[in-house]
Amino acid sequence: MLRRSFLSVLLGGVAGAVMVHVPAQAQDDWPSRTIRLVAPYPPGGPVDGLARAIAPKLGAELGQSVVVDNRSGAGGSIGLNYVLKADGDGYVIGFGVPGAITVLPQLQKVPYTAEDLNYVSLVARVPQVIAVSPELNVTSLKELIELAKSKPGTLNYGSTGVGTTPHLGAELLIQETGIQITHVPYQGAAPAVTALLGNEIQILAADVPGLLPQLVRGVKILAVNAEKRVASLPDVPTTTELGYPKIQVGSNYGIIVPETTPDSIRRKLHAALVKVLADPEVQKSIALQGGAAESSTPEVYRQLMLDETRKWKDLIKSANIKIN
């Protein structure tokens, strides 16, 4: 059951979870009108881009329009909670973001845990990269570490909020290299990237999609936080190659639905997603954004999120990450 907390009012002003009975006829007819896909980050960021990559094809497969509804804030938990509290009639579905699912419940009293979610399928796996401002005079991860050590506490790193994967990725960098840099959280990837371009922050650990378009504007990507290089950045070394194999961070995105959604509707949605994510056009669109399209069973997606929750628990404790 979803937990109630002081954030119930903050997170969209939505009242407590209501058990909704969806008549069998309505289930059989689903969908008969527009479906809203809630993206819990602002327009223009990587989450929004991935959601919009699948929405048109998903709508075509289901026979009704699927529109992206951006509901950002609180590290993605506002949008996530909105989905969890929505009527389980299949007309509000959510784009699951890993930080809000696996990390925030360990930092504050949000009214859910990773175990509470109603998972449908993975959508994409996206690696994280370490990028620096165009004004920062470094061209490699080694040079960045040397600069940060020579000027402890003077460089800023951005994130999409406390406890999000960009925050944790930078904290892993700090932990593994011993550098001292200052955290500046933003309300999503788009404003964080804007801050990087404006040199408000000098470092950003973020998903590939949000940074690829910024390469022409001078943003420099120094490393991929993974074991293997990515096709969209073939010349960028991995943290493993550079001697930091413990800096492994990626985002696993998927689709969730309200807890009261009937299994019949979830099965229809899952079947449509499997077809959409096998579509070459969708795979190409997600690849151009730096990710890899991937569907899964609800059970596989759920287990992945539970495993990620355990993974971040130790880092949160050792880095003393807290939300004030």
Question: What's the CATH number where 136 sits?
Answer: 3.40.190.10
Report yes or no on 78 lying in a domain: yes
Domain hosting residue 198, numbered range: 127-224
Question: What does the angle CA 179 – CA 183 – CA 187 come to, to the nearest 5 degrees?
Answer: 150
Longest CA span, the chain: 68
Distances, alpha carbon 76 to alpha carbons 100, 173, 203, 212, 270, in Å = 5, 23, 21, 22, 23
Q: Is residue 218 domain-shared with residue 82, that is, in the same domain?
A: no
- Are both 312 and 166 inside the same structural domain? no
Whether the predicted pLDDT of 271 surpasses 50? yes
For residues 17 and 85, membership in a common domain is answered with yes
Kind of pairing between the strands at 35-39 and 66-70: parallel
Report the C-alpha gap between 171 and 286 in whole angstroms: 27
pLDDT in tens, 137-169: 999 999 999 999 999 999 999 998 887 888 999
Q: Which residues contact 112 (CB under 8 A, 6 or more apart)?
A: 2, 3, 80, 81, 84, 105
User: Could you tell me if 65 and 32 lie in one domain?
Assistant: yes
Q: pLDDT digits over 47-57, tens only?
A: 899 999 999 99
List the one residue out of 88, 93, 30 whose CA is nearest residue 63.
Answer: 30
| Model pLDDT for residues 214-269, shown as the tens digit of each residue | 998 999 999 999 998 888 899 999 999 999 999 999 889 999 999 999 999 999 99
Torsional sign, CA 282, 301, 93, 162: negative
How far apart CA 98 and CA 188 sit, in angstroms, is 13
What does the pLDDT average to over 263-290?
95
Q: Is residue 39 part of a domain?
A: yes
Query: What does the alpha-carbon distance between residue 203 and residue 315 come to, in Å, rounded to a whole number?
Result: 20
* Distances in whole angstroms, Cα of residue 225 to Cα of each of 82, 108, 282: 31, 27, 24
Q: 109 lies in a domain?
A: yes
pLDDT at 8 over 70: no
**β-strands 118-132, 203-207: how paired?**
antiparallel
Q: What is the dihedral of CA 51, 56, 60, 62, to 10 degrees?
A: 30
State which of 224, 242, 271 marks the end of a domain.
224
The 10s digit of each residue's pLDDT in 100-149 is: 999 989 998 888 999 989 999 999 998 899 999 999 999 999 999 999 99
Cβ(93)–Cβ(255) below 8 Å:
yes
Quote the number of domains for the chain. 2
Question: Which domain-ending residue is among 209, 224, 239?
Answer: 224
Predicted TM-score (pTM) above 0.85: no
Percent of the chain with pLDDT over 70: 92
Tokens of 98: 């890993």
Residues 15 and 60 in one domain: yes
Task: State the alpha helices, DSSP H only, in the chain.
Answer: 7-10, 24-29, 46-62, 77-85, 98-102, 141-150, 165-177, 189-197, 208-211, 263-277, 280-288, 298-318
Q: Please tell me the predicted confidence (pLDDT) of residue 25.
A: 57
For residues 192 and 256, state if they share a domain.
no
DSSP 249: -
Q: In this structure, are 24 and 121 located in the same domain?
A: yes
Could you tell me the pLDDT band of residue 9, with boundaries at 50, 70 and 90? very low
- 284 & 314 share domain: yes
